Amino acid sequence: MTVHVLLTADNHLDPSAVQYGPKRFERKRDFQHCFDVLVNFALDNRPDLFLIGGDFYDGILPGNPTRAYVAEQFKRLHEKDVKTVLVSGHHDTPRSIEQGVSPLSVHAKSGHAYFLHDPRPTPKLFHLGGETVNVTGMSLNPGLAPDQDPLAGQKIDQAGDVNIFLTHYPIEGFEGYFGQETHIGKSSIPRNFQLFASGHLHRQQKNTINGTPVIYPGSTERASFNEEGEEKGFYWLELDKTGILHQEFHPTPARPMETLDSRVTGEGGSLTRQIQDALGKRAGPEKILRVRVTGKVSLEQLSTYKRSALIAYCQDRFFHVEFDEDGLNLLTMAPLESLPRTSPVEELDRTFQSLLAKVKEEERPLVQEAWKGTVARLREEGVS
């Protein structure tokens, strides 16, 4: 018998999306819409297991509308005998007593999903036809230091005919891991597992380590401009005792993100007009665009840059536009002269000399005495 698995991670449902202003609710729906694609695919194809590798929610306190939406989707899957298994990640794992439990716990209590909340490997056995499938889950442990491997020294059972490991950590050797956070080393990947699946890295990628297939399904919607060139989606897998028999990556309708590098020049006339011309060539009403404005201009030329006019121009041409002007620099007409180097005592002398020029004749002895005393105190403290 073969086991069919739908593998996903990093769905990030209910992001704050505050940067999108009045379109923030539409942007929130983008993430739900991508998850709808997964659920409908699962209802049509009836996988044995629907695996979610962490960061299902974007935060520890998702809004009630999103919770209700998710509860309905898990109920639909449960009614079709699709077994949903989750672990928590960086975004949906509580980090304090005040935060309490993960929002995933609510779905587990409904009986429509299995949440393997322990930060240690925890096996869950399923009897599918004539096969026993072991899904070992390990949720994120936020208390680990960057140099700690969450799998080091852990006992990992292989209690099934088919064994799957599900977690949410960066893994050594994969693109997106930079060695500055808690991660799983290659040597810790267990042998003789038919699948090792993880969330956290948003780029879909796979490799074989210690004879075990390791897969990141990636995120289902783009969360930042770092992902603008990446295809988003989920994996459809067919497994048996020998490993992965078949695998397919199915895309989701993630909203396009692009970066426009606009270099302005003083010879090109109005800076606003220069950027508008570039924007017109990249227009797309579904697109999220980042405009990086660079160049060196005079103060007079800078006065022709009107961000408000550009935002108004983009309103119906893009879903959302943001401007990055860190690379726009002002030309100086003349080099600035450095200030003369002085010492504290020299500055004090200059101050008292200025004061002496303004005081009355009868006050001069008092000012001179104060000057002498202050300089003496500075020298006693080693200031020159």
Give the strands of the sheet with 131-138, arranged side by side: 122-128, 131-138, 162-168, 195-199, 212-216, 205-209
**Residues 232 and 108 reside in one and the same domain:** yes
Count: domains in the chain: 3
Do 137 and 210 lie in one domain? The reply is: yes
Question: What dihedral angle (degrees, nearest 10) is formed by the CA atoms of 17, 20, 25, 30?
Answer: -70
* 337: in domain: no
Question: Do 284 and 230 belong to one domain?
Answer: no
CA angle 198, 200, 202 (to 5 degrees): 105
CA neighbor of 70 nearest in space, from 62, 60, 81: 62
User: Residue 283 belongs to what domain range?
Assistant: 257-330
Decide if 213 is inside a domain.
Answer: yes
Rounded CA gap, 199 and 356, in Å?
Answer: 73
Amino acid letter, 87: V
What the block records as the tokens of 175 is 């693109």
pLDDT reported for residue 139: 97
At residue 330, the pLDDT reads 84
Kindly state the DSSP code that residue 49 receives in the 8-state scheme.
Answer: E
Say whether both 362 and 318 belong to one domain: no
Mark 60-90 as b/e (b = at least 16 C-beta within 10 Å). Answer: bebeeebbebbeebbeebbeeebbbbbbbbb
| CA atoms of 350 and 293, how far apart (whole Å) | 46
Q: Which residues contact 251 (CB under 8 A, 6 or more apart)?
A: 231, 232, 233
Asked, for residue 27, whether it belongs to a domain, the answer is yes
Q: Check: CB of residue 291 under 8 Å from CB of residue 320.
A: no
Hey, which residues does 6 pair with through a beta bridge?
Answer: 50, 236
197 and 170 belong to one structural domain:
yes
Is 336 within a domain? no
CA atoms within 13 A on the CB side of 284: 12
Q: Residue 160 is part of a domain; what is its CATH number? A: 3.60.21.10
* Calpha distance 202→246 (Å, rounded): 22
Res 343: pLDDT: 80
Which pLDDT value is given to residue 349?
84
Kindly state the tokens that stand for 115. Answer: 């949440």
**84 in Cβ contact with 77 (< 8 Å):** yes
Paired tokens of 217: 């399904």
- Note down pLDDT in tens along the chain; length 384 residues: 799 999 999 999 999 999 999 999 999 999 999 999 999 999 999 999 999 999 999 999 999 999 999 999 999 999 999 999 999 999 999 987 667 789 999 999 999 999 999 999 999 999 998 889 999 999 999 999 999 999 999 989 898 999 999 999 999 999 987 778 999 999 999 999 999 999 999 999 999 999 999 999 999 999 999 999 999 999 999 999 999 999 999 999 999 999 999 998 877 689 999 999 999 999 999 999 999 999 998 888 899 999 999 999 999 999 999 999 999 998 875 555 666 677 887 888 888 888 888 888 888 888 888 888 887 777 777 766
Which residue type does 295 have? G
Residue 147 inside a domain? The answer is yes
Q: Is residue 339 part of a domain?
A: no
**Closest of 60, 142, 50 to residue 100, by C-alpha:** 60
If asked whether residues 30 and 159 sit together in one domain, one would say yes
Same domain membership, residue 323 and residue 348? no
Q: Give just the sign of the alpha carbon dihedral 37, 43, 46, 51.
A: positive
Q: Are residues 369 and 243 part of one domain?
A: no
Residue 214 domain-assigned? yes
Dist. CA 6–CA 13, nearest whole Å? 18
Cα(24)–Cα(27) distance, integer angstroms: 5
Last residue of a domain, one of 206, 230, 251: 251
Task: Verify that 224 and 78 share a domain, yes or no.
Answer: yes
Dihedral angle, C-alpha 355, 359, 362, 367, nearest 10 °: -20
Residues with Cβ within 8 Å of 248's Cβ and at least 6 positions away in sequence, in order, are 235, 236, 237
Domain boundary (251, 286, 321) is at: 251
Q: What is the pLDDT of residue 279?
A: 95
Cβ atoms within 10 A of the Cβ of 331, count?
13
Verify that 52 and 178 share a domain, yes or no.
yes
Query: Considering 236, 251, 266, which residue would you say is the last residue of a domain?
Result: 251
Same structural domain, 244 and 266: no
Same domain, 368 and 234: no
Tokens of 163: 């064994």
Instruction: Judge whether 75 lies within some domain.
Output: yes
Half-sphere exposure of 350 (CA within 13 A, CB side): 6
**Residue 159 bridge partners (DSSP):** none
